Copies of this chain bind each other. A is one copy, B any other.
Amino acid sequence: MSNNLFEIVEEPIEINAIIKKVERREAGAITTFIGTVREWTRGKQTIYLEYQAYIPMAVKMLAKIGEEIGEKWPDTKIGITHRIGRLDISEIAVAIAVSSPHRKAAYEANEYAIERIKQIVPIWKKEHWSDGETWIGDQLENVPYESGRPNVKDVE
């Protein structure tokens, strides 16, 4: 993993590496958010997920979220890594680390980051359920698109 604060990666995410990026001697609090692949969603079983991203724009949008946070919580430092490709149950899809001199800002900025990721970062999740597959249509997971022609592989 590189030293870039905002990354889209294809390898497993190492949470310690993300924490390292935001550690500072003046920071007494670090919050992390780890989003993992959940097996059960409203009674439906996920077998695995596939994430696809418009990579250059996704990195740009993650950096934009970082800028927004820098304005709202000036003393914080944030790092975000999102993984794409095939992910199995319990694997880490996204990790967010925020350091801050005091804890309140670290919690708030962290939660803001994940909310914004679900709004503006061009990343898409395809659920492979036990009974079929669906591209998830929004972050509330209640607007699934109908599955397109299968076997057309993602290229990005």
Q: Would you give the shortest CB distance from A88 to chain B, in whole angstroms? A: 10
In this complex, the interface size class of chain A, counting residues with CB under 8 Å from chain B, is 20 to 34
Q: Would you give the shortest CB distance from A54 to chain B, in whole angstroms? A: 23
| A57, CB-defined interface residue at 8 Å | no
CA distance A61 to B145 in the complex (A): 48
In the complex, the answer to whether B25 meets A30 with C-beta atoms within 8 Å is: no
User: Closest residue of chain B to A114, judged by CB?
Assistant: B103
User: Closest residue of chain B to A106, judged by CB?
Assistant: B33
In the complex, the answer to whether A28 meets B23 with C-beta atoms within 8 Å is: no
Given B16, B89, B90, B103, which contacts A35 in the complex, CB threshold below 8 Å? Answer: B103
| A36, CB-defined interface residue at 8 Å | yes
In the complex, the answer to whether A111 meets B101 with C-beta atoms within 8 Å is: no
> In the complex, which residues of chain B have a beta carbon less than 8 angstroms from the beta carbon of A89?
25
